[in-house]
C-alpha cells in the first residue's frame, strides 16, 4: 500500500484513530488506523461520502468485506469487521506494510528483490489464488498492483471487489453473461467474450503477471483499448525467453501454457502450476527454488 497523507492524530472512525491515508481511489479511501484500547494497527477501507448515497456502492463494499471475512489463507488479506455506518460504511482489515509487485517490476533499480525472492512471491500469490478457486471464487482482477510484498518476503493478494462465484453444473447454463470487468492489460479472452467466471481466467491474468516478472513488460502492447483486447483474443505472445535470455526455458514454456487463448488449453488449475513451478527456476542464475522456499 502506498504511503500517503499523515493526519493530525485527532481524526477517528468508530473506535479507530486514523494515522494516515494509504490510498485514495475513485470510490473509497484506505487508511492506516490504530484501534483504541488495544493499540493494534489495521487498514480501514471507507466508502467516500460522495459515493455513500449509492446503494450499489454500499452493497459492493459490503460484498468485498464479506469475502475478506470468509477467506482464511495466510497469503490473502483478512477482513476483521464491517460497519454499515452513516454517512459512509467501512471495513477493517489486516495492516500489511509493504510494496506492490508493480513497483518491483516498474522500478527495479529502486525496488529490486534479492535473487530467488521473485520465485517465492509468485509461489505465495499462486497459493492464495488456488485457495480462492478451491473455495469456489474467481478473483477477476489478478495483476501486480494487487500483490503486496513486505520486507520479510511475505505476500498478500488483495482486492476482492470484482470477485465472483464460479458457477458449476447447471448453474453454468443459467448464470447469464457477466460484465466485462478487469484491467485490460491482464484480461483473458474468455472474460472479453463474457463467459462465466472461472479459475481459467485468473490463470491467464496470473500468467501475464508471471510474464512481467520475467521480462519487465507485458506480452501485449497496443495504442487503444480495443486494439489491446483484440491482441488478447488473437495474437500469439512472444515467448518470455525472447525478451530476457536469463529466463529458463521451463518457466517460459509454463507461462505460455497459461496464456493459451482457449481456457481448456491452459493449466487445469494453479495446483498444476505450483507442482511444476516448485521444481524450476525463473531465471538461470536463481538459487535452487526448494531451498529458497524453506528459507522464506
Q: Catalytic: which of 141, 190, 202, 286?
A: 141
CA distance 276 to 187: 24
DSSP string, 85-122: -SS--EEEEE----EEHHHHHH-HHHHPPPTTHHHHHH
Closest CA to 29 of 54, 52, 9, 63: 52
Query: What are 269's three cell numbers?
Result: 488449475
Q: For the chain, where are the alpha helices, taking DSSP H only?
A: 55-70, 101-106, 108-111, 117-134, 171-174, 189-192, 199-215, 225-234, 240-243, 249-258, 270-277, 289-295
CA distance 48 to 91: 13
DSSP string, 68-82: HHH---TTBPPEEEE
Does residue 264 carry a catalytic annotation?
A: no
Cα–Cα distance list, 257 to 21, 29, 38, 90, 217 (Å): 40, 37, 48, 40, 18
Q: What is the set of active-site residues?
A: 141
Amino acid at each position: 500500500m502506498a504511503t500517503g497523507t499523515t493526519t493530525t492524530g485527532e481524526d477517528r472512525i468508530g473506535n479507530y484513530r486514523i494515522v494516515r491515508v494509504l490510498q485514495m481511489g475513485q470510490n473509497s479511501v484506505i487508511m492506516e488506523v490504530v484501534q483504541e484500547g488495544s493499540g493494534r494497527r489495521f487498514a480501514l477501507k471507507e466508502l467516500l461520502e460522495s459515493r455513500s448515497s449509492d446503494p450499489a456502492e454500499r452493497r459492493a463494499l459490503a460484498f468485498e468485506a464479506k469475502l475478506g471475512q470468509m477467506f482464511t489463507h495466510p497469503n490473502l488479506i483478512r477482513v476483521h469487521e464491517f460497519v454499515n455506518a452513516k454517512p459512509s460504511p467501512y471495513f477493517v482489515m489486516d495492516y500489511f506494510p509493504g510494496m506492490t509487485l508493480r513497483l518491483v517490476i516498474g522500478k527495479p533499480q529502486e525496488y529490486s528483490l534479492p535473487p530467488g525472492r521473485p520465485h517465492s512471491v509468485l509461489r505465495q500469490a499462486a497459493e492464495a489464488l488456488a485457495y480462492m478457486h478451491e473455495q469456489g471464487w474467481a478473483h477477476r482482477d489478478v495483476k501486480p498492483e494487487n500483490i503486496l510484498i513486505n520486507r520479510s518476503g511475505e505476500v498478500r493478494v488483495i482486492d476482492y471487489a470484482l470477485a465472483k462465484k464460479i458457477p458449476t453444473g447447471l448453474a453454468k447454463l443459467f448464470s447469464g453473461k457477466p460484465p466485462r470487468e478487469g484491467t485490460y492489460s491482464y484480461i483473458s479472452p474468455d472474460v472479453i467474450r463474457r463467459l462465466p467466471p472461472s479459475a481459467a481466467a485468473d490463470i491467464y491474468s496470473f500468467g501475464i503477471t508471471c510474464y512481467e516478472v520475467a521480462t519487465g513488460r507485458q506480452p501485449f502492447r497496443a495504442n487503444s483499448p480495443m486494439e489491446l483486447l483484440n491482441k488478447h483474443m488473437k495474437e500469439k505472445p512472444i515467448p518470455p525467453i525472447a525478451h530476457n535470455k536469463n529466463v529458463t526455458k521451463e518457466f517460459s514454456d509454463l507461462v505460455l501454457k497459461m496464456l493459451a487463448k482457449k481456457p481448456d488449453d491452459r493449466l487445469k488449475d494453479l495446483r498444476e502450476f505450483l507442482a511444476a513451478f516448485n521444481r524450476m527456476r525463473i531465471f538461470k542464475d536463481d538459487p535452487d527454488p526448494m531451498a529458497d522456499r524453506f528459507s522464506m
